[in-house]
Structure 1
Amino acid sequence: MSRQQEQLFSASLMQSIKSRFHYVDHDVDGRARLFFDNAGGSFRLKSALDAFAGIDALPDCPERIHERALFLQDIQTRGEADIRHILNAQAGSVYLSLTASAAMFEMVRAVMENVPGSNAVTTILEHPSSFDAMKLYCERTGRELRVAPSNAETGGVDVDAIISLIDDDTALLSVMYASNISGAKLDIASIAKRARERRPDLFIIVDAVQHAPHAVIDLQKTPVDGINFAPYKFFGCRGAGVTWLSERLAELPHHRLDAKAKGAWELGSPAPAQFAVVSAIVDYVAWIGSQTSDAQDRRELFIRGMKRIEEHERALLALLLDGADGQRGLRAIDGVRVFWDHDDLTRRDLIVGIGFDDLDPTAAVRAYEQRGVIVYERIASSLYSGRMLKSFNLDGAVRISPLHCHDQGDMLRFLAVTEEIATEARRGE
């Protein structure tokens, strides 16, 4: 067994993990399936859906004084505390919106309309919710939008490329934690430190939607002003985006009920059920952490759980790339090209982009589905991926995004299917 394989979850823990999710090995109709499109929306924890259904069924308004209303207030209080556990966030404001994308637009608007400066900086790899928000509000406020280019070898953006665009007149830096195209992680700690060395009062916003399910986030080590994630990509439910805002960002002018505190961003009553979903996510990750730690602190258990998830996923990534037990990995399969491939797996989340020499990405995705495997085509004509792919001089890629509730057998099965597709494509079958 390789050193990487030693980081895999044990067979017994793996079985227990799979049992906690819906539809890991089979689809809703009972057909065997490998779902490798978790970057588009992850497997759902059974406990998260149960928590949502149980709490959302209650007709009570939490802004009351009777017993059930107080119970719902406790759910929200615990959920907010768990959001802070996920991010290691202190002070500031927690904001639940309908989507993480909506919150991103609101954060960008607040800074761009109220903070002086002649320019704003972002990267070419940003999700449209960030890039388009930056473009829109630069146009509305008459600022220059400066865009850091991608690195075609790593699939990310170099720190120097971002910092070189920042000056004394930069109002806002918006940057993603990891690419949902390539899986490349950006060095947020270095970016934040060096950006503030160049402009100490710079506002920094981070899109962590893609990265949050894969590794520890620590705002005490990466002191930014705003960060968001999406529970539905983090083992939870659709219908909410979670955002944390620093005190100075939260108190910038924004849409707000006049009677509420300056730092309040929620309009109307948030759904207590969505807070319950977040707590179910933290419960689950802390349970993984408890398998190897005797810690009692909830944040410490969560950290340990996320680190074990990251280690397991790194081992799965190594299996995808290099194979095992006689099965060739993606790097060695004839007719397959691995994009943005390099050996430092610590700089990559569990996403791989590939191309077939004899098959376009859309046809490849259909070939996978015929064999019970779900992946996703990222193509240059897509509004969600065109800008990023063009920066890499690519017309398209097949995105592979498993999750930690997959095991070695799932990786080997996927590789065998990939080899079959590549062989048939070369033969023209």
Structure 2
Amino acid sequence: MIQDNPALIDAIRDRFAHVDSCPFQGERIFFENAGGALTLKSVAETSAFYAAIPDNPGRINPAGQGTQNVINKAKQDLAVFMNVTSGQFFAGESGTELLFRMIRTACLAAPNGAKAIGSSIEHPATRSAARRWAKIAGLDYVNVPHDNDTGLVTAEDYAGLMSPDVAVATILHASPVTGMGMDVAAISAAIRAVAPECLIIVDGIQHAAHGQLDLDSYNVDGYAISPYKVFSRHGYGIAWISDRLSALPHDMLIDAPATGWEFGTRDAGSYATVSDVVSYFDWLGGEVSGEADPRARIEAAGRAIHSYETHLTNTAINGTGNLPGLRDMDHVTILAGADNPAREGLVSIVINGKASEDVVEVLNQQGIRTHTRKADHYSGNVLTPLELSDCIRISFCHYNTEQEIARLLAAINEMGGDG
């Protein structure tokens, strides 16, 4: 596994731009991965190459056909990466924008008097879209409360509020505030047990970087990711939709193909960088396993990433060397509990008597990049019930190291005596 192979960690880090320094700040440790992961060097190179090509994909000329082939390959790569055998992939402005489009289409296609269901743990990307379009479409919105202590919502929580007239459902795969991953397959099954025709749309934006995606097993109708959070770049989102959702009435040009969901000329470079990301997972899977099949290598990479990120979060929580862990620092409170098996590479904390943004700034001055989450329109659904105005989000990825966590723990430990 990754944690037992220092040479592999070095090889992983070598594939990412700005892994230990910032062009604006200089040397720094990057623990802000939930806000946007590091970018693969190959992605930067690919982006520059395609940015200089003037031809539109699909035109009858070598560049037009060549860039269209790049787009087609990226969609095939995505199908392997996410393990899906039907439906279609398409790009949009962002993951949030794509979630709004999918949810809008599902709500407007729902029968009169039907219901939409979602949970209070969700990011506003799905929650705002579902509440807005449910109201416009005349649907009742059903809120599934999450558990404040665990930072989770479960299949049982959904099942308790389900009814046969639920036509639209939204699920968050992983929370960018608590860091907890939901059991999407189980929640989907609980929904379909009561309302089998329900259109189910999943926000996978926070989860995707952890490398364990299996759409065929989820039995859902829509799934969105933001590639800048999974080692690509800003400026676009990727959605997958089922054949059923593809065929519903949706925003499109008059007389355009009935199942077309993309608007305007596609950016071949964004698609090409998706292939770079999938190639990276394929490479990593080959390093941690003897698998020959691409999907099997990607699955191996996902298992290795999960194992190593669990090791990193456990190191932060339990300590390393002579440094106490976050759980043993009296001035630190860990959101959603120190022992939570649903955690995915993220630990959110508060430091007694200190404003989180002040803590983040102190850490930043020491070259340790973290982030403040406030009880605002992004995170208030999680923080307000906990009677917290803010928290410090520390988010890891598999290119981080124990040595970096030791620096973090030392800095936070020093804050205990000066409050």
Partner of 1:195: 191
% of aligned pairs identical?
30
1:105-149, Cα deviation, whole Å (9 max, x unpaired): 111111111121521111112111111111111211222111111
1:150 to partner: Cα distance: 1.7
Does the CA contact (< 8 Å) of 1:327 and 1:412 recur in 2? Answer: yes
What TM-score, normalized by structure 1, do the two folds share?
Answer: 0.94
Does residue 10 (structure 1) correspond to residue 43 (structure 2)? The answer is no
Partner of 1:404: 398
Unaligned runs of 5+ in 1: 1-5
AA aligned to 2:296 is E
**Which of these residues, 218, 228, 232, is aligned with residue 232 of structure 1?**
228
1:30 to partner: Cα distance: 6.3
Does the CA contact (< 8 Å) of 2:158 and 2:190 recur in 1? Answer: no
SS in 1 for 2:391: strand
**Which of these residues, 48, 55, 70, is aligned with residue 53 of structure 1?**
48
Partner of 2:60: 65
Counterpart CA distance in 2 for 1:25 and 1:140 is 48
Does the CA contact (< 8 Å) of 1:335 and 1:356 recur in 2? Answer: yes
Counterpart CA distance in 2 for 1:223 and 1:56 is 37
Counterpart CA distance in 2 for 1:422 and 1:254 is 55
Structure 1, 257-266 or 184-193: larger mean CA deviation: 257-266
Does residue 419 (structure 1) correspond to residue 413 (structure 2)? The answer is yes
**Alignment RMSD (CA, Å):** 1.4
AA aligned to 1:147 is N
TM superposition outliers: structure 1 runs of 4+ over 3 Å: none
Does the CA contact (< 8 Å) of 1:93 and 1:263 recur in 2? Answer: no
Partner of 1:84: 79
Counterpart CA distance in 1 for 2:18 and 2:173 is 28
AA aligned to 1:158 is T
**Which of these residues, 210, 215, 236, is aligned with residue 206 of structure 2?**
210
Partner of 1:120: 116
Does the CA contact (< 8 Å) of 2:21 and 2:27 recur in 1? Answer: yes
1:308-362, Cα deviation, whole Å (9 max, x unpaired): 11111111011011012111110011311111114243x1101111111121212
AA aligned to 1:165 is L
From the superposition, tell whether residues 29 and 118 of structure 1 become closer, same or farther in structure 2 (CA, over 3 Å).
closer
Counterpart CA distance in 2 for 1:9 and 1:299 is 24
Does residue 222 (structure 1) correspond to residue 218 (structure 2)? The answer is yes
Does the CA contact (< 8 Å) of 2:211 and 2:301 recur in 1? Answer: no
Does residue 314 (structure 1) correspond to residue 315 (structure 2)? The answer is no
Superposed counterparts of 1:90-239, under 5 Å? 90-116=85-111, 117-239=113-235
1:213 to partner: Cα distance: 0.4
Partner of 2:382: 388
1:220-276, Cα deviation, whole Å (9 max, x unpaired): 211100000011000001111000000001111111134433221001121111111
Counterpart CA distance in 1 for 2:93 and 2:24 is 30
AA aligned to 1:26 is S
1:293 to partner: Cα distance: 2.5
Partner of 1:3: none
Structure 1, 255-264 or 73-82: larger mean CA deviation: 255-264
1:16 to partner: Cα distance: 1.2
1:82-116, Cα deviation, whole Å (9 max, x unpaired): 11122111121211001111111111111111121
Does the CA contact (< 8 Å) of 1:236 and 1:277 recur in 2? Answer: yes
Does the CA contact (< 8 Å) of 1:150 and 1:391 recur in 2? Answer: no
1:215 to partner: Cα distance: 3.4
From the superposition, tell whether residues 107 and 199 of structure 1 become closer, same or farther in structure 2 (CA, over 3 Å).
same
